[in-house]
Homo-oligomer: A and B are copies of this chain.
Amino acid sequence: MTLDRLAASPQADDERAERILAAARELLLAWGYKRVTVDEIARRARIGKGTVYLHWKTKETLFTELLRRELHKQLGILAAGIGQDASAALPSRLVREVFLQQTRNPLDRALHAGDSDVLGALAITANGLPVIQELGFHTLLARVVDVWRAHGLVTVTAPAADQIHTIDAVLTGFMTGGIAVPPSEEFPPDHRADLLGHTIKAALETSAGPDEVTLRAAAQDVLAALAAAQGTLAEARSRSAAR
């Protein structure tokens, strides 16, 4: 365990942090927050338990960073999609994509659903708020809605707060999938994503689609909002490090 590393270079430190995070991620998905022990994480990362605490003050900050990274990555994927095709910045398209991402990535799903089987004590933060709020998702949503309004992609007759709430509720509803209707193979994620997209489009978007120029400008602003949110996440990271 001690043969391969002579001095601690910052580089090796980073690589070690990654290993810890990777181990934590695997275990979180397999067992859920509560059952994962710091000891086990250390064993998987092939380091001593104390070393984990050289990187994070507590088990909680370690996992919080893991979640921050997850959201950071998700935002990156969204941004990439918009970069490739500006129309992916449209409300219906963006919400659709978020839905698909949550469907595919178990951690994202747990995060947005506040799944306490996976998140355990993390599901609700010290402030009594769901993690997803703590991570600034609400702020991002509000900013993006503002961008959409500024560029006329969504109606401005309705208050922004109403639109935010509608998006939140509808997305959540499609995530849980409703209650009355029995799950069926007729509804694969892609299809449900389409229904969600259609609902968002009908409820919020302006009837006439935007012209090319407006769309590109709006896409730029959405990208900026995403980047800003990523920045906030990255910044919070350094604040939770042990050293």
What residues of chain A have their CB less than 8 Å away from a CB belonging to chain B? 112-114, 129-130, 132-133, 137-138, 141, 158, 161-162, 164-166, 168-174, 176-182, 186-187, 191-192, 195-196, 198-199, 202-203
Copies in the complex: 2
| A174 surroundings in chain B (CB, below 8 A) | 169-170, 173
Query: What is the chain B residue whose CB lies nearest that of A164?
Result: B181
Within the assembled complex, what's the spacing in Å between the Cα atoms of A192 and B132?
22
Within the assembled complex, what's the spacing in Å between the Cα atoms of A176 and B168?
10
Within the assembled complex, what's the spacing in Å between the Cα atoms of A202 and B113?
26
* A199-B199, A202-B202 known; A168-B178 Cβ under 8 A: yes
Q: Which of B161, B162, B181 contacts A165 (CB 8 A)?
A: B181
From A112, A114, A166, A173, residue with most partner B Cβ within 10 Å: A173
Q: Which of B133, B141, B161, B178 contacts A186 (CB 8 A)?
A: B161
User: Is B199 a contact of A166 with CB atoms below 8 Å?
Assistant: yes
| A199 surroundings in chain B (CB, below 8 A) | 166, 170, 199, 202-203
Q: Which of B165, B195, B198, B203 contacts A178 (CB 8 A)?
A: B165
* A186-B161, A203-B202 known; A168-B180 Cβ under 8 A: yes
User: Is B130 a contact of A195 with CB atoms below 8 Å?
Assistant: no
The secondary-structure label for the interface of chain A is helix
Query: What is the chain B residue whose CB lies nearest that of A207?
Result: B207
| A132 surroundings in chain B (CB, below 8 A) | 179-180
Query: What is the chain B residue whose CB lies nearest that of A135?
Result: B180
* A170-B170, A173-B170 known; A165-B187 Cβ under 8 A: yes
| A162 surroundings in chain B (CB, below 8 A) | 191, 195
Query: What is the chain B residue whose CB lies nearest that of A158?
Result: B198
How far does the Cβ of A124 sit from chain B's closest Cβ, in whole Å?
12
| A181 surroundings in chain B (CB, below 8 A) | 138, 141, 164-165, 168
User: Is A141 a contact of B180 with CB atoms below 8 Å?
Assistant: yes
* A114-B179, A132-B180, A203-B203 known; A192-B165 Cβ under 8 A: yes
User: Is A133 a contact of B182 with CB atoms below 8 Å?
Assistant: yes
| A113 surroundings in chain B (CB, below 8 A) | 179
Q: Which of B137, B176, B180, B191 contacts A133 (CB 8 A)?
A: B180
